[in-house]
Chains A and B, each alone.
Chain A
Amino acid sequence: MLRADGVTVAYDRHRVLDRVAIAVPPGEVTGLAGPSGCGKSSLARVLALLLRPAAGTVSVDGEEVRRWRHRAAPALRTKVALVFQQPRLAVDPRFTLLDIVAEPLRVARLPLDRAERLAEEMGLTPDLLTRRPHEVSDGQLQRACVARALALRPRYVICDEMTTMLDASTQAHLVARLEEYRRESGAGVLAISHDTDLLDRWCGPDATVHRFGDA
């Protein structure tokens, strides 16, 4: 279980999250809905262990995150992956798509050949993998970002408005690929979106969908 309890986040004196609790169980999709500016993305960063909350605790599979600097320790961070809303802001513009997918493997000193298979599973052709971000579309770049997120086989995947920029067919494909990963790996997925049609469909009738405000 990936949990946040009593999490508070403030930028300067502006408090965007006030004692928020949320739990993401493994093997399931949990939805999180809410209008823009309500703090969804801040919560996503806290859960991805990329932002230290001003108060409250975060735990991964029962282990509480203690040694925060700005972020949590790398060993814990690799258990949670984050897919950002705007792929163009989430990649190094100098990297090729293959470099982007392979980056977590390189940092973790794992064999890099897995990157090509990951990319292939996302529907990226070898030709696309040699290009840089400005030479591909948002949809193609987001496919690379999803492949990168899955590279270290995370226990939890947080999708922060992953498909807002994308057309319906690309959206359906990315969601299907994440669902495939979830079923095969038993990972937990947190689907964050303002689009309740999408969350209803992605999470299914039995899932928990938190509406922001009561999350």
Chain B
Amino acid sequence: MTATSRLRVDGLTVRFHLPAATVHAVTDARFEVRRGECLALVGESGCGKSVMAHALLGLLPGNAEVTGSAWLETGDGDPVDLVAAPEEVLARTVRGRRIGLVPQSPATHLTPVRTARSQLEEALRELGNPASADDLAARAGLRPADLDRYPHELSGGMAQRVANALALAGDPWLILADEPTSGLDRPLVDATMAELRRLADDGRAVLLITHDLRAAELVADRVAVMYASRVVSVAPAAPFFAGPRHPYAAGLLDALPSRRFAAIPGRPPELTRLPGGCAFLPRCDRASAACENVPEPAVLPEPPAAGDAAAGNPGAGDPAAGDPAAGDPAAGPGASPAVSAPAGRSPASRHDGQEVACHHPLDHPLELDRHAAR
């Protein structure tokens, strides 16, 4: 594992062919996950988040058509394109070894008729890891005695730790956590997020797929927002939670009970018939004629008001840095003035600016009803 360890998803597209329709589950997704960071992928239910996870693991059903690429680079061998790689490569070198999966509802993910120890030992043996189950379990915060229990004898938190230990059995550098907190209560969510944070700080990378924005806020370095099969925004966590620039992301945050608790009006489009332009258009109060075209992602510099949040490592050593948003031909005539960088500031890199696919991004930290009167 070297500093170049990363997952680079480029133009990933997934279609399901049904007898009467085609489901556009993921469209042209582009993002990166780097070693040492946690990227949270958030969005409404049914937006394609989980399909993305399964596509990266090569676990989609036979009627799925996957195009684009998802390069898994580890620096100690040739990068693997998870989309093009044959199943045996994925099975032998990727699943469990380079990518560990923390599943949704760990209690049901475990085999009910075998103890945690027997499942952990099997994983270690199959992955050729000489470590003992006890050591692995201890790293995940379990006592040896806990391992001798069956899944139904484990509490939710313990089952979660067993699942984490299983995900780590092959010493993967990328952890893919698919809704790891759904159904868990607050203390367990906090503990699970702390565990994911620790994994990232240990030098792994975490791709957290969740609908739970508060969980994401606890752990994410960056947040990617998915809407109607597209990744519409990728942003560093602090400015994102202080004031997301994409109107959909702002609406999603605003729907939290601790904020305005108001649903975004309307509903997401059917993935079987996505509109030609911006899929958020019918629900958006900033829409204009420009939104009839699909907006291209553009890197927006932070407004001065969010100054401290935008400070960081401006583009240092970042190969993706320096594609300035201004002058993007796809921004179209309706592009907001916020797209051009303020005088005296260098264009933001992908790492410190909010990357937003929208013709009319919000140009200030939104007046979110953060401490809504109750």
Contacts and interface: CB of A to CB of B under 8 A. Distances in A.
B183 A86 contact: yes
B187 A171 contact: no
B270 A201 contact: no
Contact of B45 (A137, A161, A204): A137
Interface string A8-43: 000000000000000000000000000111000000
A172 B270 contact: no
Nearest to B266: A123
B183 A200 contact: no
B294 interface: no
A137 B44 CA distance: 10
Nearest to B42: A167
Size range of the chain A interface in the assembly: 35 or more
A214 interface: no
A102 B256 CA distance: 31
A170 B263 contact: yes
Nearest to A175: B261
> Chain B contact residues: over half helix, strand or loop, or mixed?
loop
A197 B46 CA distance: 24
Contact of B270 (A125, A161, A194, A204): A125
Nearest to B45: A139
Given A125-B270, A169-B252, A169-B263, A36 B156 contact: yes
A166 B47 CA distance: 12
A37 B155 contact: yes
A23 to B, nearest CB: 23
Interface string A144-161: 000000000000000001
B251 A169 contact: yes
Contacts of B182: 164-165
Contact of A195 (B186, B252, B255): B186
A169 B374 contact: no
B185 interface: yes
B255 A169 contact: yes
B263 A201 contact: no
B43 interface: yes
A169 to B, nearest CB: 4
Nearest to B189: A194
B45 A138 contact: yes
Interface in B142-199: 155-156, 182-188
Nearest to B272: A127
A36 B185 CA distance: 6
B24 to A, nearest CB: 14
Nearest to A194: B185
A37 B262 CA distance: 30
Contacts of A198: 257
B284 interface: no
A75 interface: no
B374 A200 contact: yes
Most A C-beta atoms less than 10 A away, residue of B183, B185, B270:
B185
Nearest to A199: B257
Contacts of A195: 186, 257
Contacts of A137: 45-46
A136 interface: yes
Contacts of B372: 201
Contact of B213 (A123, A168, A170, A202): A168
Contact of B262 (A172, A202, A204, A205): A172
Contact of A200 (B212, B257, B272): B257
Nearest to B43: A167
A127 B46 contact: no
Interface in B262-301: 262-264, 267, 270, 272
B253 interface: yes
B258 interface: yes
Interface in A165-186: 165-173, 175-176
A72 B274 CA distance: 47
B211 interface: yes
Interface of B: 42-46, 155-156, 182-188, 211-213, 251-253, 255-258, 261-264, 267, 270, 272, 372, 374
Interface of A: 35-37, 85-86, 123, 125, 127-128, 136-140, 161, 164-173, 175-176, 194-198, 200-202, 204-205
9 nearest A-B residue pairs (beta carbon): A137-B46, A139-B45, A194-B185, A173-B263, A168-B255, A172-B263, A167-B211, A201-B257, A137-B45
Given A169-B251, A173-B263, A197-B256, 16 more contacts: A37-B156, A123-B267, A125-B267, A139-B44, A164-B182, A165-B183, A167-B255, A168-B253, A168-B256, A171-B257, A195-B186, A195-B257, A197-B257, A197-B258, A201-B261, A202-B257
